[in-house]
Structure 1
C-alpha cells in the first residue's frame, strides 16, 4: 500500500482540525473558542501539551503537534532592511544608512513595505495546515537596537548607530511599520534584538547589565547585556523581564538553547 504524501497528510490533519473547531461552543476546549481572549486560549493550549511538546516549541524550528492542530512553524525570518534570504524582494539600505536620514516616517514606510512582502511570501509558500519554512514566516527578527559604540564589532551596519534616542525613535517606527495598526491582527511580528550573547560590545562581560533608555511598554528597549559563561546563568532573561515588565516570548537562534520569556 502506498503511503500518503506529505501534502495529503497535512490536508487530512487540517480537515480533522477544522472539524474539531466546528464543534458546538459548549463542547469546545477553551483554545478552540475564537470568542475568548487570545491569552486565555494560548494558556489553555499550552496546558494541554506534554513536557516534550513544550520543549519542541522552544526551538526556532518548532515541530507540528497534529493532535492540537498546531502546524510546524519556523520563527527565524530576517528583515533588517527588507525581506532577506527568501528570494526576490525589495532591498533597502542597511539600517545604519536608514537611520542617517533621521526620517521616522520614512523608516515606518520601509518597514511597512517589508511586512507586506513577508506576508505575501508566507501566503504563497505556507502549507495547507499553515506550516511555514525558514525565512517564509511572519515573525521578523528585526529591528536591531543594540547601540553601536565600537567600530570593531562587525555587525554595526545592522544597528541605527550610537545614539540611544535616535535608535529608540527609529526602532519604534520600524516596529509600528512591521506590525501595523491592529494589535489583534498584526501584519507581522517584530522581534527586537539582541538581549545577550550577540558577539557585540558587552557580549562577554562578567556582569549582566540591562539598560532601558525608553521605559514605556510600547517602545523598544536598548539592551546592553553580558554573560560570563554563555547562558550559564539564565537569570539575565528573567532580570530583563522583571525589571522592564516585558511580556511575550524570547527566542535564540543558531540552534542555541532556547528559553521562553513568558508574560504573566
Structure 2
C-alpha cells in the first residue's frame, strides 16, 4: 500500500530537523511540493536544500504543482478556506495517484509542525474521505515557530501556574484573544497588535526565526509597535514573503518571570 509522511521541518533553520524526520526523509521515494509563485520560491528551495542535506540515497524524485489561490470574492473566511482545502485535495489526490506507485512512500514537507495552523493534514483527510485513493499516512512532528520564538527571545511561553492562548491575528482583532496571562499570535498579516488598547502589554516578536534574515523585536507595545510594522513591511518587500509570530504578555507575567522590560532589537547576526 502507498504510504505518505507529513514531515514537520521546523521554522526555517535546517538544524531544526529532528532525527526522526531525517530517518523518514530517507524512506521517501517521491516528495510533493506546492509552488506558491515566484515571490515564495524560497520556501520550495529550502525544502529542496533539506532533502539534499539529509538524504543519503539520491534516487528520490520531486513532483511540483501550482498551489491554488484562495477565492477573494468569498467574504466568509471559513467558507473561503474550506473551498481552498477541497481544491488542494483534488490536486494532491491526482499527484499521489499518478506519481506514487502502490509500494512507494511519498511525503509532504510541512513548515513548522503539521498539527499547528497548517492545512496539509486536513487536505489529506479530505482525500481519505473521498475514498478514491487508498494509502496510509504518518505524521512526523516538527519544531514550531512558537518554540523558536521563545528560544530566540530566551523566554518561557508560560509562567508558573499560568495559562497561554494560541490564536490568530484575525481572532485577536475581533477581541477573541482570551484572558490568559500570555497570548501567542500567528498568521497576523494585518499587525493586529495595533488594535490593542492595553499599552502596558509587552510584545516579543520574531520573523524568519532561525534563518539568516531573522529579526527580533521586543518591548512595550506602545514603544515598539510602529517599529515592528516598519520592519515587517521592509522585510516583506526585500524578501518577497515573511513568516512571523509574537507573544503578548501582561506586565505581571513578565515581572514574575524576570523577563526584560525594555525594548530590544537585533538580527540573527547580532546574537
- TM-score range, shorter-chain basis? under 0.3
TM-score, normalisation: structure 2: 0.26
Bigger fraction of residues in strand: 2
TM-score, normalisation: structure 1: 0.27
